[in-house]
Amino acid sequence: MGPDIMKIGAENALPFETADDSPRDQIVRLESRLEELAEALARCRKIKLMSQIAIGAGSIWLLAWTIGIVGSNPIAMMAAISGVIGGTVMYGSNITTSREIDFAMNEAEAQRAALIGTLDLRVVGELE
């Protein structure tokens, strides 16, 4: 038997679109989803900034140690190296996550635009 595969998802959740939903209800759900994705993307930006700060601070300390500006301190050296490596890993992982979120946002926006296109909208102020 093969290795167990973890499934992540809401098994008991309602499907995103049901047959009896109106396009307006589906649009409302899509807009809610877009708001959630925008919040997740904002968190990704904050994490990206923190990882860049960790990389920069660790690199500056290592450069200062290499030049001889700061003395040799093993704990500070380990912290600097950990900052550079940890920041790089966090940055790479976060970039992947932000790309996935961006892709999901583009899909949701396209679905919302398609649903809006199916609505029979009239221009306010038209006199017929």
Flag whether 81 is in a domain: yes
- For residue 34, what are its two tokens? 């877009």
pLDDT tens digits for the chain (128 residues)?
444 443 444 444 444 555 557 888 888 999 999 999 999 999 999 999 999 999 999 999 999 999 988 888 889 999 999 999 999 999 999 999 999 999 999 999 999 998 888 877 777 876 65
Cα separations in angstroms, 15 against 9, 10, 20? 12, 10, 12
Residue 15: inside a domain, yes or no?
A: no
Ramachandran region, residue 13 (left: φ > 0; alpha: ψ -120 to 50; beta: rest): beta
Q: Report yes or no on 40 lying in a domain.
A: yes
Q: Is 11 part of a structural domain of the chain?
A: no
Q: Could you tell me if residue 93 is inside a domain?
A: yes
122: in domain: no
Buried b (16+ CB within 10 A) or exposed e, 22-32: ebeebbebbee
Q: How many domains does the chain have?
A: 1
Number of residues that make up the chain: 128
Residue-level pLDDT at 126:
61
Q: Please report whether residue 123 resides in a domain.
A: no
User: Could you tell me if residue 13 is inside a domain?
Assistant: no
Task: Quote the pLDDT of residue 117.
Answer: 84
Residue-number span of the structural domain to which 83 is assigned: 24-116
Other C-beta atoms closer than 10 Å to the C-beta of 120 total: 5
pTM metric for this prediction: 0.67
